[in-house]
Amino acid sequence: MKAPMMKPLDKNKTAYLFLPDVNQCLCCSVIASLLLSVAPAFAQKKGDEPQTVSIQREAITLRHPRDYYVPLNLKPVRSIQVSSPIDGIVHSVDVKPGENPTAKTVLVRLDSSIPQAQVSRAEAALELAKQEQKNATGKNSAIAKAQVDLAEADLKIANIRLEQTIIRAPFKGEIFRTFTTPGAFVRAGQPLMELGDTSRLQVEIPLQREQAKKGASINLNVEEQAVQATVDQVLPLAPQFEKLRDLANSITSAVVLLDNKNNQYRPGQSVSVALIPRYSIAEIPTTSVTNTPEGARKIQIVRENVIRDLTPQILGQVGPERLFVSAAFNKDDEIIVSSSQPLPDGTMVQPKLTVGTTQASPTTPNKGKTGNPPKKKVSF
């Protein structure tokens, strides 16, 4: 006959659970006892009676999270490498990393001695062509006019080359890096600095297909800070996310945007999402996942004869009755599928098959008597 239910155990109490039928469920005897801080023995409270609790549990097979890890980080919505349009020598670099120039702000100046001389030469050539046009008559008038047009074009080209010695910001943004210094010779097309618009940041993430709707709000973490982002683009699954199909079948890629007008986030910050596991992965029954009073998810495991609460990261569904979760599992943990009564975190348990002459050993000193060891011990 089962003993009457006991009052809930307080935090300093220890419970022992005992198992009569390993194949069906874990039947355990709960003994409340107070752990003394001055001795390794236990002092049992007078009047405490053992009771039977049934626990259905299941062994788990763990997968390592590194097999599914994909690094994610924030990037500016717009970013470019500002390059030199012409060959030249850097005269000055007018901005530094971390500064926020507006559009058309001067970033770099190249030495303008030669382009300026070319402008002066083109202006003189144009003036000469105009004088010759005035003195031309007959057929020579048409030739003189063409020479004026040619000189005007040369002057326009020379002014463009002079303007190219002043390199400006194409849009408002932040300077991330500079790649040159005054006095350096640069080739046309050589990067001078990196500029990005940080008013909005983006990241491409794996997402359940039913969540991947343009404009939808998505929860993610930016270096442990929970934030909401907005889906901007839905794309075919990126190659780096293909490995995640082992954990969730219907997934796709999505580019999500994060408003950053207050500059609270920085490019390069790491991002974590629900589909990329951070801890060991296990396949468990859906009934093992419950909710705490605060609304968080919870699972319970048996670890070295102790009940432990874990917060799972829900990954993907495996049919209607099972799912993959990621949590701080250990190798020999067993997942609790159900229990006949609530078991608080930290409850110590012992299989019932170890009960016998050894039952009193954890609660009272043996006073020199040794009991027979159990014939069979069930490990969790």
Rounded distance between C-alpha atoms, residue 184 and residue 304, angstroms: 66
Q: Please answer whether residues 333 and 279 qualify as being in contact, where contact means their C-beta atoms are separated by less than 8 angstroms.
A: no
Whole-number percent of the chain with pLDDT over 90: 60
Rounded distance between C-alpha atoms, residue 265 and residue 232, angstroms: 18
Q: Which tens digit of pLDDT belongs to each residue from 325-362?
A: 999 999 899 999 998 888 899 988 877 764 444 333 33
With 0-12 CB in 10 A as exposed, 13-18 as middle and 19+ as buried, what is 14? Answer: buried
Look up residue 102 and give its two tokens.
């507006």
What is the model's pLDDT at position 190? 96
Domain 83-194 part of CATH 3.40.50.300: no
Name which of 200, 204, 337 is nearest 271 in CA terms. Answer: 204
Give yes or no on whether 69-76+198-272 and 83-194 have one common fold.
no
Contacts of 87 (CB under 8 A, 6+ apart): 185, 186, 187, 188
What is the model's pLDDT at position 296? 87
What is the model's pLDDT at position 49? 56
Distances (CA, A) of 227 to 66, 102, 217, 300: 24, 28, 10, 28
Choose between 204 and 18: higher pLDDT. Answer: 204
Q: Which tens digit of pLDDT belongs to each residue from 131-176?
A: 988 888 887 888 889 999 999 999 999 999 999 999 999 999 999 9
Domain ranges of the chain: 69-76+198-272, 83-194, 278-331
Look up residue 377 and give its two tokens.
């011990």
What is the model's pTM?
Answer: 0.66
Q: Domain 69-76+198-272 is classified in which CATH homologous superfamily?
A: Efflux pump adaptor protein, beta barrel domain (2.40.30.170)
Rounded distance between C-alpha atoms, residue 286 and residue 295, angstroms: 17
Q: Which tens digit of pLDDT belongs to each residue from 186-199?
A: 999 999 999 999 99
What is the model's pLDDT at position 50? 57
